A and B are shown apart, each in its own frame.
Chain A
Amino acid sequence: MSDSHDSPDFINDLVRLFYMVGAVLVVGTIITFAIDLAFSLPLVWAAVIGLTIALVKASFVVAIFMHYKWDKKLIMITWTMVITFFFFAGMMGLIMWADGDAPNLDRIEMPARWVVLASLLGVALPASFTFLTVKMLSQPAPVEAAVPKPRRASKKRIN
């Protein structure tokens, strides 16, 4: 959490917010539980509903409990998580692709160069990410405070 939010009033608001998020999480769990008890849903719907509620709960945890709401202007965290997301999506995609390997599915053969490309991407993304991070952090920090630019705010003013 950045320094601008250390006042006692803000902390008090924060604590109230924490309790509200706690309530949201409990309610989310109860809804999931109740739906499963009350209805017998087909697998796809169970997955969609169950995971959607989980996603909402997770968003609250990340945004409030993990302070992302106040930290998101800090590009490093966003950057880390966005790249992680792409990596995860790619990995999931590869796994789904492999599933198509079953002989009973009429699968269009995947060209070998795609496999090579996907593998290279899989290595290159985290590698370049690691490289950039290490390079950046191994340099001494600039003396002049390069406080994150308030890009959005300035845009708003222009509009």
Chain B
Amino acid sequence: MEIPYTVKPRPDTGLYNAKLGIWLFLASEVMLFGALFSSYVLLRVGAEPGTWSMGLMDLYVGAGNTMVLIASSMFVVLAWAELKQGNLAGYKKWKWATIACAVLFLCVKWGYEWPSKFAHYDVWLNDATVLHEKFQKGYHETASHGEDGDDAHGHGDAHGGDVEEHIEGIYTTRFFKERSKDSHDAFDVAWHNGTLALSGHINAYEEAQIDVRITGWKADAGVSEAEADKALAKFGEGDTAKLRRDGGLLLSGTDYDSAKRAEYALGQAGFTVALSVAGYVKVEAQPWMWRTKRVTEDIGGKPRVKSLYFGLDHSSHHQEITLDVGDIKRLSAYEPKHSTFFGIYYTITGLHAAHVFAGILIMLYNMLPIGLGLWHRDREQFTNRIETFGLFWHFVDLVWIFLFPILYIL
């Protein structure tokens, strides 16, 4: 079947069919993104002061990415103009430039902006006044090598009584664009009712070393003695038969994953297993997307993670404080689950980035021999195909034109 009106406009609509099709598709896209925009603006306007991550968005990165998309939008229309003049080489040149811009945009978005958020945390404490002690200790530990002066948001040094003021500085920079009466009131409320969020990185943590003990074996579990011993042997040398009969220490000071794996496998083999914490070791690593449940998980009456070495954001010297897990009410990385803001932030930017990604695939198709075949069969139809793609691509650019002020400025 031949598709009609791929080149000549249909008399009654005045358009070739693909163009009408793409405009209808864009209309549906307007509704899709429109709903999300409306929701964002509504949530933003309805948010209490101090709950929207105003200070978080990096304006420079946002503006840079806007420029990249604008450039790509120009290149794609120039590619089409080259085709109109019958210049395939020119088309290819601009098209590669467009693809390069799109890839750069996604690299910034998915390679930098998102991942840096996944390693970023907010901590809510049961009682913020413990910070008086922790903060001073942390300050003295790091002040000696923090000579790089105050960063852009420096609020001076914290000594004794002005700990609260220092933390207010950190809090303000995270949730407000600048210090104001609103920000001060919001901080007061947060400090006193336990909703204060401290932002920073986990630089290191003390993780449990776990002992795995055999406490019994059920002969009636349907597993033969030989099989049970075989299961035991996988986890260590020694007298497996004796371990099975009398119980005893199987693994000592092992890590969490190994301990859990042993617990599961031995449970399948009819053993009852007890885990207990032998001690804690400090691990120097910046973990991604940890949550409260993970650090407070109970292992024989003790938490899986004892304390976090928390490097505070926006503070002079980026000082590090040690937080006991027992003091933590909630720990959350900047992931969608963190808050309403991050929920809708990832939804909107993710949907937009998915459009960019789809655009890259379509552009690559139109650059490969299989896509260029149409050029050799029917130049006008190919030119129209590139025009309709251009319409889609400009729409993606349009969405970002609105996303930029909404996300980064509002």
Using a CB–CB cutoff of 8 Å, the interface residues on chain A facing chain B are 1-3, 6, 8, 11, 14-15, 18-19, 21-22, 25-26, 29-30, 32-33, 36-37, 40, 43, 46-47, 50-51, 53-54, 57-58, 61-62, 65-67, 71, 73-77, 80-81, 83-84, 87-88, 91-92, 95-96, 99, 133, 136-137, 141-142, 144-148
Contact = CB atoms under 8 A, between A and B. Distances in A.
Contacts of B39: 95
A96 B41 CA distance: 10
A19 B70 CA distance: 11
Interface string B44-70: 111000000000000100010011001
Given A18-B81, A66-B394, A147-B14, 10 more contacts: A18-B77, A22-B70, A32-B63, A40-B178, A46-B409, A54-B404, A61-B394, A81-B23, A84-B30, A87-B31
Given A32-B409, A142-B12, A66 B391 contact: yes
Contacts of A30: 63
Nearest to B8: A3
Contacts of B404: 29, 32, 54
B196 to A, nearest CB: 23
Q: For the side of the interface on B, what is the size category?
A: 35 or more
B1 interface: no
26 contacts: A2-B9, A11-B85, A15-B81, A18-B74, A18-B78, A26-B67, A26-B70, A29-B70, A32-B63, A32-B409, A40-B178, A43-B45, A46-B410, A65-B74, A66-B395, A73-B14, A74-B13, A74-B14, A74-B15, A83-B27, A84-B30, A88-B30, A91-B35, A99-B42, A136-B13, A141-B5
A50 B38 contact: no
Interface of B: 4-5, 9-15, 17, 20, 23-24, 27, 30-31, 34-35, 38-39, 41-42, 44-46, 59, 63, 66-67, 70-71, 73-74, 77-78, 81, 84-85, 177-178, 387, 390-391, 394-395, 397-398, 401-402, 404-406, 408-410
A99 B30 contact: no
B410 A50 contact: yes
A147 B11 CA distance: 6
A46 B52 CA distance: 15
Contact of B13 (A3, A18, A29, A76): A76
A114 to B, nearest CB: 19
Nearest to B4: A141
Contact of B23 (A57, A58, A76): A76
A19 B401 CA distance: 18
Q: Would you list the 7 A-B pairs with minimal beta carbon distance, nearest first?
A: A50-B405, A74-B14, A22-B74, A84-B27, A88-B34, A50-B409, A25-B70
A137 B158 CA distance: 72
A144 B12 CA distance: 9
Contacts of B177: 40
Contacts of B71: 22
Contacts of B31: 84, 87-88, 91
Contacts of B78: 15, 18
Contacts of B67: 26, 29
A123 B396 CA distance: 26
Contacts of A33: 59, 63
Contacts of B34: 88, 91-92
A2 to B, nearest CB: 7
B38 A80 contact: no
A29 B30 CA distance: 22
Given A61-B398, A65-B390, A133-B24, A50 B12 contact: no
A11 B84 contact: yes
B397 A61 contact: yes
A71 B387 CA distance: 13
Nearest to A74: B14
Contacts of B14: 2, 73-76, 147-148
Contact of B73 (A8, A65, A75): A65
Given A54-B404, A146-B11, A8 B409 contact: no
A81 B27 contact: yes
Nearest to B402: A54
Contacts of A26: 67, 70
A151 B169 CA distance: 63
A88 B20 CA distance: 20
Contacts of A88: 30-31, 34
A58 B223 CA distance: 70
Contacts of B401: 25, 54, 57-58, 61
Contacts of B178: 40
Contact of A58 (B9, B11, B398): B398
Give the most central of B23, B67, B404: most A CB within 10 Å.
Answer: B23
Contacts of A99: 42, 46
A80 B30 CA distance: 11
Contacts of B9: 2-3
Contact of A62 (B38, B46, B398, B410): B398
A145 B11 contact: yes
A19 B94 CA distance: 13
Contacts of A141: 4-5, 10-12
